[in-house]
Structure 1
Amino acid sequence: MGSKAAVVVFAETEPKEAFRGPIVIDRDKSKHLAEMLLGVTSHEMGPLALDLAIWPNNGVVCAASLTGCEVICSRELARHQPSELSEWISSFAGGRDAYAVFMHSAEDWGAFAVWSGGHLLRSVSVNPYSGVIEDVGERIPFEVPFWEGERSVRNEASYSLPFHPIDFGNEALREFFGFILEGREDESCFDPEEVEIPAFRGA
């Protein structure tokens, strides 16, 4: 299915720490999170493994209230300009940091953004057709090898970007959340198939 993601995480500390060790999900708070996005009363459909939950079907919201963070996944969140979410992020954040990763391998598109206390710190979005769609704020250290050509697309000299957006998006998943969908796992990664996130649909 390739790499597809539309995930936003609100966190009091580094979000990947919330996925380490035993995971306890508050079902009532998770349902409330989903309903805040859906705008209607919801019913729980059952959980999805995290690798599927971060790109749920249309009309479905995967949401989890964990110790120290909240996870919300919905295709409705995906933006080619992640900065457009800043007002919504600010209303949800409650002073917490927020991290978003969006990508779709069929579009060859990857994006991520980071907010602190509701204020946008970094937003970047790229695909080979439009080039750099958005590039706001200072680059985060994990990005540097990509922009400096150290992660270039092999055997594609005419590729219009210095790196592949899907590689970029997966590295953002690793950096922020501690897992990837494609690529080489390392000791920092956990298996997203082993974490389940509740899924909700409007009633």
Structure 2
Amino acid sequence: MGAKSAMLIFSDGDAAEALRDARSTDSTAAAGLLQRIRPGCTVEPTESAALWDGTYPPDGLCYAASFEGVAVVCDRWLMQHRPSQLPRHVLEAGGGSRVFFHAMHSVSDVFSFAVWEKGELVRALSLSPDAGIVENIGAPYEFEAPFWAGERPVEPDPWWGEDQPPYPLAFHPLELGEEALRAFAGFVLEGRPCPDDVDAEAVPLSGFRVTDANGSHPARIEVELEQRAAAMRLRQHTTIRFDVDRGDTGT
């Protein structure tokens, strides 16, 4: 899976319904939304993108949009936070009665999401095969049930080899991530689309270059995630190599 996201959606109700008809955005309002989320940063307009392409912006860019009943922000800076610990000013920046946070990264299989209703956190989940379950707050939603019940296990890949240890989690985080995205935003990044999915390629986002006052660059987040994934692969390879050298092949 190659899906990546770092996104907040603010809505007055069902964000998917609002996004279904979202075809034009107010770039001034979008810039103001980013400025409230990243106070003290320089926000400069740049190339726009569609929602489907913009959930994980390129280095140094952010995407945002303000529509009737829904606002969207895509920013790698969001991935620095545990979902339950997003700053209050961020949660209040877009208005609306519901805030949906969604972040996933295919290099390290990290997935996090959270939902706030009228300012109150009702669900937060963050997990990865490397770190395990980092936080699990609130009652799971219905779409999560098959995953927690063991009905969506990660099947062994023939390319892993016979000595490859089983996947560390009972399900693949990115598969759950796609279900969460569909449940709260009405579309998926990978997998088979449903007939009534939001056409995320038709939803426009305004592009902005956002620079922190200290000059920090969002590319470091990508590097850190890739380093974590590489370290995990190295540990797994070392364990397998050690077992083979001892003759403990399991046969």
Q: CA deviation at 1:146?
A: 0.9
Contact 1:80–1:133 (8 Å) recurs in 2: no
Cα deviation, residue 95, structure 1: 5.5
Return the offset for 1:108: 0.9
Q: State the secondary structure of the residue aligned to 1:114.
A: strand
Distance apart, 1:93 and its partner CA: 5.2
Q: How far off its partner does 1:196 sit?
A: 2.1
Letter paired with 2:123: R
**Highest CA radius of gyration, 1 or 2?**
2
- Shift of residue 20 of structure 1? 1.1
User: Are the equivalent residues in 1 in contact too, given 2:36–2:90 (CA < 8 A)?
Assistant: no
Cα distance in 1 between the residues matched to 2:191 and 2:96:
33
- Whether 1:33 aligns to 2:41 is no
CA distance in 2, matches of 1:88, 1:165: 28
Q: Quick check: 2:33–2:94 contact (8 Å CA) kept in 1?
A: no
Q: How many Å apart are 1:86 and its aligned residue? A: 4.9
For 2:100, give the aligned amino acid: Y
Q: Does 1:166 align with 2:213?
A: no
Deviation at 1:201, TM superposition (A): 1.1
Structure 1 residues 119 and 89, CA gap change in structure 2 (3 angstroms): farther
Q: Compare the two structures and name the one with the higher strand fraction.
A: 1
Task: Assess, with a 3 A threshold, how the Cα gap between structure 1 residues 47 and 90 changes in structure 2: closer, same or farther.
Answer: closer
- AA matched with 1:104: H
Cα distance in 1 for partners of 2:25, 2:45 equals 14
User: Aligned Cα RMSD in Å?
Assistant: 2.0
* In the alignment, structure 1 residue 10 sits paired with structure 2 residue 10: yes
Instruction: State the Cα distance separating 1:79 from its structure 2 match.
Output: 4.2
Unaligned runs of 5+ in 1: none
- 2:206 paired residue number: 198
Matched, 1:133 2:134: yes
Higher alpha-carbon deviation: 172-181 or 72-81: 72-81
Normalising by structure 2, we get a TM-score of 0.75
The alpha carbon displacement at 1:145 in A equals 0.8
Bigger shift: residues 57-66 or 143-152: 57-66
TM-score of the aligned structures, taking structure 1 as reference length: 0.91
1:103 aligns with 2:111: no
2:44 partner amino acid? H
Please state which structure has a larger fraction of its residues in helix: 2
Q: Residue 186 in 1 paired to residue 194 in 2?
A: yes
Quick one: percent identity of the two aligned structures? 38
Shift in alpha-carbon separation, 1:40–1:89, aligned structure 2, 3 A:
closer
Give the direction of change, closer, same or farther, for the CA distance of 1:93–1:64 in structure 2 (3 Å limit): closer
User: In structure 2, how many angstroms separate the alpha carbons of the residues matched to 1:17 and 1:4?
Assistant: 23
Shift of 1:25: 1.3
CA distance in 2, matches of 1:27, 1:128: 38
Unaligned runs of 5+ in 2: 158-164, 212-251
Q: Structure 1 stretch 114-123 or stretch 38-47: which is displaced more?
A: 38-47
Please list the CA deviations of residues 15-49 of structure 1 after superposition, one character each: whole Å capped at 9, or x if unmatched. 11111135231222111112223433422112112
Amino acid at match of 1:6: A
CA contact under 8 A between 2:11 and 2:95: conserved in structure 1?
Answer: no
Instruction: Return the alpha-carbon distance in structure 2 between the equivalents of residues 22 and 91 of structure 1.
Output: 22
